[in-house]
Structure 1
């Protein structure tokens, strides 16, 4: 089987890597994905964008990429779209118009429950099968036969969980994977590491970044120990300071206490708060709210992201309650999704 894949995000490719383990040997990937999974059209590291402004700057390139993928789909049996709705929904529309009978599978659905609910109709119109990773997501769709709750992929990728409060001396810092996130967080994280004494300060850096990029974007990181293995470090850490994103859910599933921080460009943040009506941005907190429970962790956004606020949360967080909530979260999300999605693709 020839499978056209559009997976532009780092997190999507982590899920794709796990999914590939469950696909038969004769399934060959084409399209956009991490180069360690095959021979993609483009190096994934060149595609990451952050926010509305960055997206506008790269519009011409992404129109070109969409057309290239549509051409490539001609010789593929099925299509797999993962996350990145700003690109993948228009791609799905053009694929459907060009190949009305080709099966289009969407895995890691757009967060239509949070904003832009009109995307639900588009997904139902352009796609064949929808693979949901959130238990409550199915409720907003009308064509129930199209959508399946497949479980959350992180429960495939994370094998070990904490059953007691960590007594290590490691503190983990995860400033994000996008350039603007890193630049915004690193000065604060550096000051914070000086304030928390007699600890090992572990800075998680994505594997895709080379030494030149690290020096340019992260600056002086001599006060940190660098690691590329986020799951290992989260398991061993007593606490984490984490930029909003998939990493916050990873920490919550593993059971590592942490505080979420997020600093966006002012115009991006202004647009986001006008469009997105949610009391929380952390996925674990959103899940708990859906269950009728209080947030599992603290969040600081924009000007609230200060050394003092993060340090005070480190000292005051109730770690026993957090550990109990982590187990509740794992039970809520159920099993991992890789095998289920592989079955859907190969059926």
Structure 2
């Protein structure tokens, strides 16, 4: 089979790569042409474009780059028509992927279209559930509450579990301990507080400077930035005025040895929780964007941990609340004492709700069964 897969950011890249590995186990003739990141490129036969050259975050950033985005749409549409894939697999990235799904469906290509890691329609633009089902042949949900959400609109989806559990299961045996981490990166003996400012430039720009303001308040700890492999060191340096260590492409090793963390909202909050690291969630989309989102977002929480547990287990500092004073206060609360203990208990419940690993295998099996039945 010829597969065309599109992912738009780091976590999608990781999950798509794991799915590709599982599809290869079922389809010995699998040929992959992809838009994604380094992990997908390692599994693919052909790479069209890296997401670092085609991913734009935030309303104004999108508007500013609208010409580049339109060129990417045209490139992708023409490339799919030339490649004529048997299967199109879309990973999150709804603004781009839903347009591509529509284009391919209307093109009359005999391409089977699957959506894996669904857009967060339960958060805003709920009517996208109709669009997703109109243009896709089958969809695969990774969050436990998504199946009921789609059912409320009259649609059935395949709940496969969260692939982050697969990624952790694969990586944990090879993760290094505190002594090895300290030796490799010349860290001190102080306990580590991890800073996860995100994998996009806009996220880093808006959150990292505020995160770094707390460093001087915790001299008994050392702060380590989990750097994204897609962002150059020079970009981080623009926002760093303190002597903080930055380690690239080793987020799991950092979390494996961290005492606490400041984390940008998104998949990283789940990863941090599954490593049992108490955290404070940081979100700063910008004043105008934030107030626009407040009008249209229909959820009680922004942190995935809180959404799954359906309560405020992890503190969320949003927009104006994301400041030095609040960060210092909340970080102090999770480094020791009652709130730290409660958060660790909440993490236990989270793991139970998410189930075990196997999402990538389950998704690949369902896709393969569907493909072979159609053919």
Q: How high is the TM-score relative to the length of structure 2?
A: 0.84
Whole-Å Cα distance in 1 between the matches of residues 246 and 54 of structure 2?
A: 28
Q: Where does residue 228 of structure 1 map in the other structure? A: 249
With 80-89 and 222-231 compared, the bigger mean Cα shift is at: 222-231
From the superposition, tell whether residues 147 and 195 of structure 1 become closer, same or farther in structure 2 (CA, over 3 Å).
same
Following TM superposition, where does structure 1 have runs of at least 4 consecutive aligned residues deviating by more than 4 angstroms? 142-146
Aligned: 1:301 with 2:323: no
Following TM superposition, by how much is the alpha carbon of 1:144 offset from its aligned partner in structure 2, in angstroms?
6.9
Aligned: 1:81 with 2:76: no
From the superposition, tell whether residues 116 and 225 of structure 1 become closer, same or farther in structure 2 (CA, over 3 Å).
closer
Give runs of aligned pairs for residues 161-240 of structure 1, distance below 5 A.
169-216=191-238, 218-220=239-241, 222-240=243-261
SS of 1:68's equivalent in the other structure is helix
Whole-Å Cα distance in 2 between the matches of residues 21 and 100 of structure 1?
A: 26
Number of aligned residue pairs: give it: 338
Whole-Å Cα distance in 2 between the matches of residues 168 and 278 of structure 1?
A: 38
Q: Where does residue 37 of structure 2 map in the other structure? A: 34
Contact 1:31 1:72 in 2 (8 A): no
From the superposition, tell whether residues 188 and 225 of structure 1 become closer, same or farther in structure 2 (CA, over 3 Å).
same
Pick the aligned partner of 2:331 from 314, 318, 325.
314
From the superposition, tell whether residues 73 and 187 of structure 1 become closer, same or farther in structure 2 (CA, over 3 Å).
closer
**Unaligned stretches of 5+ residues in structure 2:** 179-188, 370-375
From the superposition, tell whether residues 275 and 20 of structure 1 become closer, same or farther in structure 2 (CA, over 3 Å).
same
Give runs of aligned pairs for residues 254-269 of structure 1, distance below 5 A.
254-269=275-290
Contact 1:49 1:55 in 2 (8 A): yes
Following TM superposition, by how much is the alpha carbon of 1:220 offset from its aligned partner in structure 2, in angstroms?
4.2
Pick the aligned partner of 2:268 from 242, 247, 252.
247
Whole-Å Cα distance in 2 between the matches of residues 140 and 95 of structure 1?
A: 26
With 22-31 and 187-196 compared, the bigger mean Cα shift is at: 22-31
Give runs of aligned pairs for residues 84-103 of structure 1, distance below 5 A.
84-99=93-108, 101-103=110-112
Whole-Å Cα distance in 2 between the matches of residues 168 and 100 of structure 1?
A: 59
Give runs of aligned pairs for residues 324-339 of structure 1, distance below 5 A.
324-336=345-357, 337-339=359-361
Q: Where does residue 181 of structure 2 map in the other structure? A: none
Give runs of aligned pairs for residues 56-135 of structure 1, distance below 5 A.
56-74=63-81, 75-99=84-108, 101-135=110-144
Following TM superposition, by how much is the alpha carbon of 1:72 offset from its aligned partner in structure 2, in angstroms?
3.0
Give me the CA root mean square deviation.
2.2
Contact 1:202 1:227 in 2 (8 A): no
Following TM superposition, by how much is the alpha carbon of 1:221 offset from its aligned partner in structure 2, in angstroms?
5.4
Following TM superposition, by how much is the alpha carbon of 1:198 offset from its aligned partner in structure 2, in angstroms?
2.1
Contact 2:199 2:231 in 1 (8 A): no
Whole-Å Cα distance in 2 between the matches of residues 221 and 96 of structure 1?
A: 52
SS of 1:22's equivalent in the other structure is helix
Whole-Å Cα distance in 2 between the matches of residues 49 and 282 of structure 1?
A: 21
From the superposition, tell whether residues 100 and 77 of structure 1 become closer, same or farther in structure 2 (CA, over 3 Å).
closer
- 1:240-284 residue CA offsets vs partner (Å, 9 max, x unmatched): 011112111111122110001111122211211111022210011
Contact 1:202 1:224 in 2 (8 A): yes
Contact 2:210 2:324 in 1 (8 A): yes
SS of 2:72's equivalent in the other structure is helix
Contact 2:199 2:230 in 1 (8 A): no
Contact 1:31 1:69 in 2 (8 A): no
Whole-Å Cα distance in 1 between the matches of residues 156 and 32 of structure 2?
A: 23
Q: How high is the TM-score relative to the length of structure 1?
A: 0.90
Whole-Å Cα distance in 2 between the matches of residues 184 and 56 of structure 1?
A: 18
Pick the aligned partner of 2:162 from 140, 152, 162.
152
Following TM superposition, by how much is the alpha carbon of 1:70 offset from its aligned partner in structure 2, in angstroms?
2.8
